[in-house]
Structure 1
């Protein structure tokens, strides 16, 4: 705990005291505002607004996860991107969703919090105020901390608003987060790996093995399978076992029109004052050039000598005694080839370019010539000296005026277009030809899809999105509009055919082909089981077993290391890694890839050796680090396996429109 405090405690903790004092004033004002809003809008409306927030979206061993907690986690995921890139929450959500299921990610994080909270409560962790305050300031976005090291209250208020929270709730959430982090550190540090184990693992990795590999294509037995044709009864029975496989999916046709936002932008005029007002309101957040520093560094790689940290301590003592000699000592000792010859000089950079711990140490330095403590990074042990600092500045109005004008025009154009489309969707309810009339007035070209099905719905192009709209389960619509890249698409359903199960006679040829493939697969599995049994009993080798089923050639490798290519096999075939688990000649590894069965038997093994004992110290450190990460992952996974986790997708989807609305 003391070590942790030394790492995370920051100077100037009195800043937090002043910060909280200021926040108390804000709390008083905000409560009056909230009270006025509640009274003005009516208690009933206020009560209704609370409803969705308290909805249960899932449970962990019976403990509910509220939509409010889920939504807050989701906002915590997107907030750094909103702050960093100045984009809207909706835009960030859209971009992140393209990279993965962000909804599921947020839910899993809520589950993990619940599980780890139980652990940290059993540890009865306490965090002293100084440590908590230091961590709180440390994790704040750089835009909130001014050049003088104090909290920018205006920026902090915007940050709280963006997170849809209050300072009190924010601090409470962070306290829980810090406690969970400590609990995970305890778990990580409980892992241990000895030097002997590392040596054994390295020897194993360096070992060489030779294998006998038998490849049996599933279709190898297809000709034998076709020798016995199924009668009508057998074929019908086979068909009935998996009827859904032959289902004809829903399909539809639609016509659509594309309308661009740029056409609306051309009609919008802006005055200089509107642009200036936007700049004044957003310059601190959107048009701020982050502070930069120029530093010198000395890197001592941990694996260079037996005790790299001891050397780093000696060099650090020298530079602290003679700061003016930092450049000369960098040339003499630094292992960073890119900077050593220039005296360790690293030119101006802002946050996000280098190792986070290196940057943290560099930006903490205030006085020119000041030297950091020794820091541990992924490269080794480093020390930093401040050479020059550039303060954060705001971009001049003239340099961003055109950018702002384009942004405002785009926003107003979208608002105008969406307003017209909303009116159009209302009109089409009473007048069926409203869409066609609108398209004619705007001079839009009419396009038509062919038959589209669920297969097309997997695509992200216009046709794919249309398929999702007109075929989506429970959400299909006969008309509407959707947004694509830079355009809006208005659509109208022309024709639709529902899914159905065809009669056997209509798909008979396909069913027969599937029947033969199924029989060939059964034959393959039966023969594989016989070969494996003979090898385990010691009555035959893999090569002999292959001969019994008519395969006269197997693939015999020479002595190879894990990762070496094997002639005749694709280099990224998963089998090539899996087969190195074999350590006994009586074992047989079975694998299936791309319709081909593989059997592998170990022929010979040549033990490896640890040749580079000088680097063993750094290898052990790396292995311990990897072991600690695996320990945490395994621990979390075990908690999840033993917990009853339920996710209510219906409730969750019912509140999707509330994801990024302000609380």
Structure 2
């Protein structure tokens, strides 16, 4: 059974023919000079490819949804006590005093044994595993040192330009302005039809009116509306496909029909066009020459590097290469495969070669961001788990962190037990800590508590404390800190001083909250019924989303 039938049966709802006619006649898109016009009605529906029978069914469904919501809400009654409780919730304030038991404050009290070190190390060895590492020695040939050797003639410039013509392409672009009548993806069919009708009406105005003023008045695109809807130039592939297709079909000054996109309905006005083509050589000559110089400089550097490598690769002597090229040998130090290479940076080609070349061997020249590198594998350190002595400082930190949290919680629990038994809070403050206060605050802050931040469960528990039962019966935790909390001050809120206007405003707020809760409960009941299916769009309408 569909929702419409189910609700009519369960809530005894129906829409009369007269009510349906009146609701349609009240839609501005179907009116001429403020009065319903049948020809306008049929014209708008024809443009939207809707038959009157289908639109009337959609309108009836929407009315039924509205009636359902109103019927469900009418059962909500807000008492004076409900209003008084809400006033107290909003205006009652409390001040908490608390002691923080921070784990860091107990670190100095922790004494670790050799057995603890051994046990932790044995149980967490994978945590300390070190991946294979390599170290390189290298020399770098800077391509910029070869720039003065490069001479570029006009024929080379012409050839480069022709070979790389796509690099200088100019994409076809158009400039456009638009008026957007936005439609939410969750909108029901009646709303969609009404927005489409508005778009049609705006298009008719735009055909003889001032597009800029209409955009300022009607467009839901706030980023462009103030500027008359102007978007500026854009290329293909940057806009919604439907919008883009329509915009590229327009000449300057030409208006589109109503265009549907995922955002809603658009009226588009063409404002200009840049035809596809290529930048002239004269406009990019300097860029071409720079590319040629860079390309040739790198070729010369690589050529020298290869010559030096080929002469020395059998001996594996990077020192000889450095001496011959008058360069300095640089050491990277050890690094892992997944890391950037020290003094070089990220170079996947070089990393792959470094981890596949034996120790003491040369690596053929590799291009990099800063030039050409000739490298030698200086050291290989296999993957391993370091001895405890190597990682003892790390183990110590982990142990201290864990043990200090345990001790902080233990001390906090003991302090809480004493305070519950009647010991003053100030008497159980641990060494190095101090008794703190939040200052007065209300429940309007939600889970946030001044000076503490968001501490799980604290705000809710704090407002249940009383002057008689002022101590919170549990610890509260944030990170590695535990809190013992006590109500120090209660500033009550007396609803007797409310004006009639304030009273009704709060009543309205409570009414809305209770209606929402009732709606959710009713909808949940309907959804649980085995014979009822609720369409998502109708469900969203009933829920008011």
Match of 2:370?
486
Q: Supply the distance in 1 between the matched residues of 2:259 and 2:510 (Cα, whole angstroms).
A: 31
Match of 2:278?
394
Q: Supply the distance in 2 between the matched residues of 1:298 and 1:223 (Cα, whole angstroms).
A: 69
Q: Supply the distance in 1 between the matched residues of 2:396 and 2:224 (Cα, whole angstroms).
A: 70
Any conservation in 2 of the 1:365–1:386 contact (CA below 8 Å)? yes
Instruction: Tell me, yes or no, if structure 1 residue 286 matches structure 2 residue 171.
Output: no
Distance 1:218 1:392, change over 3 A: same
Any conservation in 2 of the 1:470–1:476 contact (CA below 8 Å)? no
Q: Supply the distance in 1 between the matched residues of 2:223 and 2:387 (Cα, whole angstroms).
A: 72
Distance 1:277 1:357, change over 3 A: same
SS in 2 for 1:325: coil
User: Tell me, which stretches of 5 or more residues in structure 1 are unaligned?
Assistant: 1-193, 200-206, 617-623, 629-663
Match of 1:295?
176
Match of 1:313?
197
Matches within 5 A, 1:467-616: 469=351, 478=360, 479-480=362-363, 481-494=365-378, 515-524=399-408, 553=435, 556=438, 558-559=441-442, 567-568=450-451, 593=479, 596-597=480-481
SS in 2 for 1:257: strand
Q: How many residue pairs were aligned?
A: 394
Q: Supply the distance in 1 between the matched residues of 2:224 and 2:276 (Cα, whole angstroms).
A: 26
Distance 1:367 1:416, change over 3 A: same
Instruction: Tell me, yes or no, if structure 1 residue 440 matches structure 2 residue 353.
Output: no
Match of 2:19?
none
Instruction: Tell me, yes or no, if structure 1 residue 221 matches structure 2 residue 106.
Output: yes
Deviation at 1:215, TM superposition (A): 5.3
Match of 2:254?
369
Distance 1:547 1:430, change over 3 A: same
Q: Supply the distance in 2 between the matched residues of 1:489 and 1:560 (Cα, whole angstroms).
A: 65
Any conservation in 1 of the 2:312–2:320 contact (CA below 8 Å)? no
Q: Supply the distance in 1 between the matched residues of 2:206 and 2:394 (Cα, whole angstroms).
A: 84
Q: Supply the distance in 1 between the matched residues of 2:69 and 2:144 (Cα, whole angstroms).
A: 65
Any conservation in 2 of the 1:250–1:471 contact (CA below 8 Å)? no
Q: 2:290 aligns with which of 406, 410, 414?
A: 406
Q: 2:142 aligns with which of 260, 275, 293?
A: 260
Match of 1:649?
none
- Once the two structures are superposed, residues 46-68 of structure 1 have per-residue CA deviations (whole angstroms, 9 ceiling, x without a partner) of xxxxxxxxxxxxxxxxxxxxxxx
Distance 1:430 1:527, change over 3 A: same
- Once the two structures are superposed, residues 24-63 of structure 1 have per-residue CA deviations (whole angstroms, 9 ceiling, x without a partner) of xxxxxxxxxxxxxxxxxxxxxxxxxxxxxxxxxxxxxxxx
Any conservation in 1 of the 2:359–2:378 contact (CA below 8 Å)? no
Which is helix-richer, 1 or 2?
1
Deviates more, 1:509-518 or 1:260-269: 509-518
Distance 1:277 1:374, change over 3 A: same
Q: Supply the distance in 2 between the matched residues of 1:506 and 1:322 (Cα, whole angstroms).
A: 78
Match of 2:267?
383
Match of 2:40?
none
User: Tell me, which stretches of 5 or more residues in structure 2 are unaligned?
Assistant: 1-67, 74-88, 465-471, 494-505, 517-535, 541-545
Q: Supply the distance in 1 between the matched residues of 2:477 and 2:162 (Cα, whole angstroms).
A: 64
Instruction: Tell me, yes or no, if structure 1 residue 462 matches structure 2 residue 343.
Output: yes
Matches within 5 A, 1:125-204: none
Match of 2:159?
277
Q: Please, what TM-score do these two structures have when normalized by structure 1?
A: 0.45
Distance 1:349 1:469, change over 3 A: closer
Q: Supply the distance in 1 between the matched residues of 2:202 and 2:173 (Cα, whole angstroms).
A: 27
- Once the two structures are superposed, residues 259-289 of structure 1 have per-residue CA deviations (whole angstroms, 9 ceiling, x without a partner) of 2223344434444334323333442x32122
- Once the two structures are superposed, residues 283-325 of structure 1 have per-residue CA deviations (whole angstroms, 9 ceiling, x without a partner) of 2x3212222223232234569x995873563343342476242
Deviation at 1:430, TM superposition (A): 0.9
Q: Supply the distance in 2 between the matched residues of 1:579 and 1:363 (Cα, whole angstroms).
A: 59
- Once the two structures are superposed, residues 198-248 of structure 1 have per-residue CA deviations (whole angstroms, 9 ceiling, x without a partner) of x9xxxxxxx98999898543223324433xx53x55554444444566678
Q: Please, what TM-score do these two structures have when normalized by structure 2?
A: 0.52
Q: Supply the distance in 1 between the matched residues of 2:306 and 2:428 (Cα, whole angstroms).
A: 72
Deviation at 1:437, TM superposition (A): 3.7
Q: Supply the distance in 1 between the matched residues of 2:280 and 2:473 (Cα, whole angstroms).
A: 72
Distance 1:561 1:404, change over 3 A: farther
- Once the two structures are superposed, residues 408-437 of structure 1 have per-residue CA deviations (whole angstroms, 9 ceiling, x without a partner) of 44334434544554554454431232x334
SS in 1 for 2:209: helix
Distance 1:275 1:503, change over 3 A: closer
Deviation at 1:476, TM superposition (A): 6.9
Structure of higher RCO (CA pairs closer than 8 Å, 6+ residues apart): 2
SS in 2 for 1:370: coil
Deviates more, 1:557-566 or 1:383-392: 557-566
Deviation at 1:396, TM superposition (A): 0.7
Q: Supply the distance in 2 between the matched residues of 1:591 and 1:270 (Cα, whole angstroms).
A: 71
Distance 1:506 1:443, change over 3 A: closer
Which structure has the larger Rg?
2
Q: Supply the distance in 1 between the matched residues of 2:511 and 2:356 (Cα, whole angstroms).
A: 65
SS in 1 for 2:295: helix
Q: Supply the distance in 2 between the matched residues of 1:483 and 1:265 (Cα, whole angstroms).
A: 17
Q: Supply the distance in 2 between the matched residues of 1:588 and 1:376 (Cα, whole angstroms).
A: 56
Q: Supply the distance in 1 between the matched residues of 2:227 and 2:123 (Cα, whole angstroms).
A: 75
SS in 1 for 2:161: helix
Any conservation in 1 of the 2:199–2:258 contact (CA below 8 Å)? no
Deviation at 1:561, TM superposition (A): 6.2
